[in-house]
Structure 1
Amino acid sequence: MLPPHVRGAAGASAGRPFSADTAAGHRAVRRCNHSRAEDGARLLKPLAMPTSTDTLLRQIRRAPLPAPSPARGLGLDDWALRKGRTYGSILVDLEAHCVRDVLPDRATPTVSAWLRQHPGVEVIARDRSTESARAAVVGAPEAQQVADRWHLLLNGRQKMERWMTSAHPRLRALPAVSSGDTPPARRHTSFSRAHARAESRSRHVAAYEAVRRRHLDGEPLLRISHTLPQWSRENRPIKVP
């Protein structure tokens, strides 16, 4: 009589009576592959199908990848196989947030051939490379080309740095601007926290005394509160002498 795991396979592993690779076992393993390998191994043990995490990982690698849907928004950029020496092209689905493919180089024929094989691209977000621009025109002429946000920020920062570098000597040559005859006082020591607390307390005490005088004159507190500055409305108790 055949063992239970062979009988459950409906003849799929009849030639290997002591094999645990049955059709039912494969289905159970594939269902558990959606979780982590350790969790999947724990789930299979109560089902009388003890499986190691390495076996689950091998099953995940053997499983065929699902057919991707056509990408409408595509990100095109270079990536380093060996930084500073060898670069390829990476294509990212901007809606699904996943990598669609990695190409061995950045040449126009390679990228344009990939775009022709994957029609339906409506928007291509790319860098300022002329190779990427030509590849997008040849491979997807109807797609709209836009500059991605990262490169816009990078180009803007580089432009500002170049302008500041060129304008710095001219800015230093400008005459000094003074508000009066006397030069502004310069602080040679750090502003201590105790001094800051003392100034804050003096402002709050002055506001308290002003509210007290106005209230004694008969003005309602609600009207007084509407005229106080924002910093004096904090619910911070102060001790007054």
Structure 2
Amino acid sequence: MPSGGRRVVLCLRGRRFLCPVISCGRRTFAEQLPGLTRRYGRRTERLRSTPAAIGLALAGRAGARLASVFGVSVSRSAVLRLVEALPDHEVPALRVIGVDEYATRKGRHYGTVLVDVQSRRQVDLLPGREASSLAAWLAKWPGVEVVCRDRALFFAEVAAAGAPKPVPVADRWHLWHNLSKAAERCVADHCGCLQVLASDPAQHVPPSRRSPKISPARPGRGDTASSTVPA
């Protein structure tokens, strides 16, 4: 990691141990410093974790640009390799999952994303959006009770593909989205009826609030034209 905007290189001196057993395939063992180095590592642990955290937030190209601002020289490919090397988080017991599709290339290549609704964390990615692949995945997780999905026919065919007992429900976003679209269509269809029922707003204005009438006075000799306005 840089210090004061300058790149810092640590020179470490470690011990190398020799195994006296001839049949040992390792023969030599290098000393490691916990929290600082690892086997076959060319970076410190902090220099590995920082670009990896940036890559999780911004991916490769943008992550490499931001890392260079911090004084860390790393390529976008190295950022992606650090992200791929991160261990997978342990998935807890799933009870309610959300299922939706994503596109790697819109109109051609689609996949399925599975999200734990309770923890709001991504669980798995399926390479396709076939009902059989989702049914096979649900068979591996018998504890799943509810599946939140949209109204696509792909997810409706999962039950026919031999999926276990999870109850399919429509997720909250699609319910509100469908309700807003239905209300918008209803208002658009009856827009003419609303215009007929609406009365002239000028009829409901009381006489005291109406704008006063201006009556021009007749100019006489030596007088200029003027107008009288009631007080």
TM-score (norm 2): 0.55
Is 1:79–1:88's contact at 8 Å kept on the other side of the alignment? Answer: yes
The equivalent of 2:8 in structure 1 is none
Q: Does 1:125 align with 2:148?
A: yes
Measure the CA separation in 2 of the matches of 1:73 and 1:178.
Answer: 54
Shift of 1:105: 2.3
The equivalent of 1:62 in structure 2 is 85
Q: Which consecutive residues of structure 2, in runs of 5 or more, have no partner in the other structure? A: 1-11, 20-24, 54-71, 212-231
Q: Which residue among 193, 204, 207 is the counterpart of 1:170?
A: 193
Is 1:114–1:139's contact at 8 Å kept on the other side of the alignment? Answer: no
1:127-146 matches, within 5 Å, as 127-136=150-159, 138=161, 140-146=163-169
Higher helix share: 1
Equivalent position amino acid for 2:199 in 1:
V
Is 2:18–2:28's contact at 8 Å kept on the other side of the alignment? Answer: no
The equivalent of 1:96 in structure 2 is 119
Measure the CA separation in 2 of the matches of 1:13 and 1:31.
Answer: 24
1:149-164 matches, within 5 Å, as 149-164=172-187
The equivalent of 1:5 in structure 2 is 14
The equivalent of 1:26 in structure 2 is 38
The equivalent of 2:136 in structure 1 is 113
Shift of 1:124: 0.7
Indicate the RMSD between aligned Cα atoms, in angstroms: 4.3
Equivalent position amino acid for 2:15 in 1:
V
Q: Which consecutive residues of structure 1, in runs of 5 or more, have no partner in the other structure? A: 40-51, 189-241
Measure the CA separation in 2 of the matches of 1:132 and 1:94.
Answer: 17
1:40-51 matches, within 5 Å, as none
Partner of 1:26, secondary structure, is: coil
Measure the CA separation in 1 of the matches of 2:210 and 2:100.
Answer: 50
User: What is the number of residues matched between the two proteins?
Assistant: 168
The equivalent of 1:36 in structure 2 is 50
Shift of 1:76: 0.4
Measure the CA separation in 2 of the matches of 1:178 and 1:131.
Answer: 52
The equivalent of 1:216 in structure 2 is none
Equivalent position amino acid for 2:186 in 1:
W
Measure the CA separation in 2 of the matches of 1:108 and 1:61.
Answer: 28
Higher strand share: 2
